[in-house]
Amino acid sequence: MLSGAAMSLPRPLQPFADYLANAWEERAIALKAVSFAAVGVINTLVDASVFFLAYAFVVDSLIVANVLAWMAGVTCSYTLNSYTTFAAESGRKLRLASYGAFVLSGLVGLVANTSTLLFVAQSLEAPVWVAKACAILVSFVVNFSITNFVVFRKR
C-alpha cells in the first residue's frame, strides 16, 4: 500500500519508505499501536460524547454513564479495528464470535477505565473531565494489549 507512494520519493528516502511499507505489510506492533490509537481517537469522541450526554441528561451515576459510553465505544472500536488495525487478522470481516471475544476482553478495559475514573474523581477529587481523561489513557494500554495479544492474535 505504501510502496506505490514510496517509489516517487527522492532516492535517499527510498530505504526508509521501503522499511515503512514492509513494516505496514507485516503489521508491525508499533504501527498497529499507532493505528489502534487513531481508531481510539474516534472511539474517544464516541465514548466521551455518550458519557457526558448520559451524565448530563439521562443518569446521575458516573458508573452507569460510563457503562453506556463503553457499550457505544466498544461496538465502534470493534468495527473500525476489524477493518483497519487488525484487517489482516480479521480478513476485514465482522464476526459475532470475534465481537463477543472483543466485548469480553473489553470488560477488563472497562473495569480499568471505571476504576481509574472513580479513583481520580473521588479519591484525588479531580474534575470529572480530568478523571475521564486519565481513565481513557489507562484503558488504552489495557485494551491494546488484550486486543493485540488475545482477540486478534495470529492463528
Tell me the domain boundaries of the chain: 29-151
pTM (2 d.p.) = 0.64
SS3 93: coil
User: What was the pLDDT predicted at 143?
Assistant: 82
Q: What is the pLDDT of residues 54-65, one digit of tens each?
A: 999 999 999 999
User: What was the pLDDT predicted at 39?
Assistant: 93
User: What was the pLDDT predicted at 33?
Assistant: 83
Q: What is the pLDDT of residues 124-147, one digit of tens each?
A: 999 999 998 999 889 888 888 888
What whole-number distance in Å separates Cα of residue 138 and Cα of residue 83? 24
